[in-house]
Amino acid sequence: MTLIVDTAPIVALSERRAPRRGTVRRQLLRERGDLIVSAQITAEIDYFMTERCGEAAALNFARDLASANYRVECLTDDEYRVIHRLMQQYRDLAPGLADLSIVVLAYRFNTTRILTFDQKHFRAMKPLQGGSFTLLPLDDPDPVPPDA
């Protein structure tokens, strides 16, 4: 099953003292489907890894991308039009281009599963295909064991 991946969980993998590092690692290890990352998210990850964890962490992330550990997806012109509409719809929430790219990619890949810590935006926004998002690891019906 496809999983759309947000910025913070990937950055947490490189932060030695991140409280949810182990949970994210175990969540990713048990995934069997594609791990989809928006091109907009890769830029955020690179920035935060460089700032918080150093250039070596950013280099490791680039290696993960080059090794196809994550499938990077770019948006189409039509999808940018959808994002523009969503920016207007969720104006009070101000989710931004990166988060809205996740919403659009979730629709493209017909999934509601997102690996994220961002409950503020993804609890308020609705999938384009209806329903609500499943935010992992928090909403996992078979949660990974808590971090030690």
Q: In this structure, is residue 146 part of a structural domain?
A: no
Cis peptide before 137 (omega within 30 of 0): yes
Please name every residue paired with 3 in a beta bridge, in sequence order, or none if there are none. 35
Residue 129 lies in a domain: yes
Q: Is residue 86 part of a domain?
A: yes
Q: Which domain holds residue 34?
A: 3-136
pLDDT score, position 7: 97
Longest dimension (CA), the chain: 45
Is 143 part of any domain?
no
Task: Note whether residue 141 is domain-resident.
Answer: no
pLDDT in tens, 7-43: 999 999 999 888 899 899 999 998 999 999 999 999 9
Q: Which pLDDT score is estimated for 146? A: 57
Is residue 81 a part of any domain in this protein?
yes
**Residue 99 domain-assigned?**
yes
CATH number, residue 101: 3.40.50.1010
User: Which pLDDT belongs to residue 1?
Assistant: 87
CB within 8 Å of 128: residues ≥ 6 apart: 82, 103, 104, 106, 107
Q: What is the pLDDT of residue 148?
A: 45
Please list the ranges in the chain whose pLDDT falls under 50.
148
Structural domain includes residue 142: no
Query: Domain tally for the chain?
Result: 1
Residue 143: the pLDDT is 63
